[in-house]
Amino acid sequence: MSLTRRILRSPLFLSSCGAAVVLGGAVFYKESISCCYKVDSKLDNVVAVVTGATNGIGLATTRKLAEAGARVIMASRNMDKCKEQRRKIVLETRNKNVVCRLCDLASLESVENFAKRIIQDKEKVNLLINNAGIMHVPPKPTVDGFEPHLGVNFLGSKRMLLHRDDKKRYMFVGPHLLTVLLLDQLKVSAPSRIVNMIDISCKRGHVNFQDLNSTKDKPQPQCVYDQSQLARVVCTRELSRQLKGKHLHTYKYVKRTGIGRQVKSKFVKVVTWPAKKIGLQAPDKAANAVLLLAVSPEFGDVSGKTFRYDRVTKTLKETEINDEAEDLRVQLRLWLTADYWTKAQKVQLLFLSLFSR
């Protein structure tokens, strides 16, 4: 047998070929689930607020908005990290109109102060991109006593106390409060858009009104995470209904990028690493879909819809979540619950009275 034939039949060669085929297929698949979009026009007159702007999709979105000339307000709870990322973005894009602002979604006071500064400065807001989120963090309650997923991903986790039937009830705030407080700025800056990032796991979610803060039973991390994602969907639908005819549009984008960096288990990280690398979008590619919803004229007359990237048509496609997300009673009930817990309307009226003089 010739040397060439021996090499071709050797286990090492065959395994190498197999690995190359698998790797090539993985690369092809990863590219097929990634959105390609480039902003055609300059965004010099656009002001965008991006939460979770120091990591993943939030960071990539901030960079792309800065490249297009927009003023970007990076809402972050880690100022040192935010300033470092801002420095890199400014050097890369030559756009100095990128600023860092402290906004910890796990704190009512921080969210209020963030919104207060924007309103006080009479700064317009054309885009609000709610991207920040956590996943599979330890079940230990926050320092304020709340289940962390629903708190940070949907409402937040700043404790307030309300006496009812001589019982103390805990309440939490965050992205919902931030959105409500910035609504007037978004309205006066119209046409404006709100893009809420959600995980595909929202399809498995269920809003448990009987134990919304997961205090009665020991919560399963995946269940409470799914609930927090569905809550974003439900309240975005209700907000869209309330804003009808006001030239302010809301969108939800189903992302396939992991925010599981909070997962502590090394075993879980090792086991899920291949799936993450192959099956999840790169943040830079996912940010293209966010920009498509945020600035493309194609979605200028659409509101309250949920989109995902379709690798067959190479565009964003409207998708349904579940029956609960479509239930008008669930939408209104959750919105009113969030408003009641956060006292969002009272804070909004207070800001109006203080800064409209």
φ and ψ at 135, to 5 degrees? -150, 135
Q: What is the per-residue pLDDT for 26?
A: 45
Beta strands 127-130 and 192-199: pairing type?
Answer: parallel
- pTM of structure: 0.77
**β-strand pairing of 192-199 with 167-170:** unpaired
Task: For CA atoms 227, 232, 233, 236, give the dihedral sign.
Answer: positive
Cα distances (angstroms) measured from residue 149 to each of 205, 245, 324, 343: 13, 33, 19, 20
Mind listing the pLDDT tens digit for each residue in 77-134?
A: 999 999 999 999 999 999 999 999 999 887 778 888 999 999 999 999 999 999 876 5
Q: What is the pLDDT of residue 172?
A: 33
At residue 107, the pLDDT reads: 77
**For residue 198, what pLDDT is reported?**
85
Is 106:152 a contact under the CB 8 Å cutoff? yes
Question: What whole-number distance in Å separates Cα of residue 230 and Cα of residue 241?
Answer: 17
DSSP letter at 163 equals: E
Instruction: Give the per-residue pLDDT at 311.
Output: 76
170 tagged catalytic: no
pLDDT of residue 270: 46
According to the model, what pLDDT value does residue 170 have? Answer: 27
Cis ω for the linkage preceding 191 (within 30 of 0): yes
Q: Where are the alpha helices (DSSP H) in the chain?
A: 3-9, 11-32, 56-67, 79-93, 108-120, 148-150, 175-188, 221-242, 266-279, 283-295, 323-326, 328-342, 344-355
- The 3-state DSSP class for residue 254 equals strand
DSSP 8-state symbol, 222 = H
pLDDT for res 9: 62
Contact indicator for 65, 126 with CB cutoff of 8 Å: no
Q: According to the model, what pLDDT value does residue 205 have?
A: 85
The Cα 167–Cα 220 span in angstroms is 26
Which pLDDT score, from 0 to 100, does residue 17 have? Answer: 60
Rounded Cα distance between 157 and 160, Å, is 9
The angle at the Cα of 52, spanning 331 to 205, to the nearest 5 degrees, equals 35
Q: Which regions of the chain are under pLDDT 70?
A: 1-41, 133-174, 213, 218-219, 255-281, 344-357
Cα 166 to chain center, whole Å?
37
Among 170, 225, 253, 309, which one carries the catalytic annotation? 225
Q: Reduced to 3 states, what is the DSSP secondary structure of residue 10? A: coil
3-state helix, strand, coil in the chain (%, to 5): 50, 15, 35
Residue 258 CA to residue 262 CA, distance in Å, equals: 10
Tokens of 124: 């317009």
Residue 193 pLDDT: 95
- Which residues, listed in sequence order, are joined to residue 99 by a DSSP beta bridge? 73
Q: Which domains does the chain have, with CATH numbers?
A: 38-355 (3.40.50.720)
Distance CA 122, CA 111 (A): 17
Distance separating alpha carbons of residues 222 and 74, to the nearest angstrom: 28
Length of the chain: 357
**pLDDT of res. 164:** 31
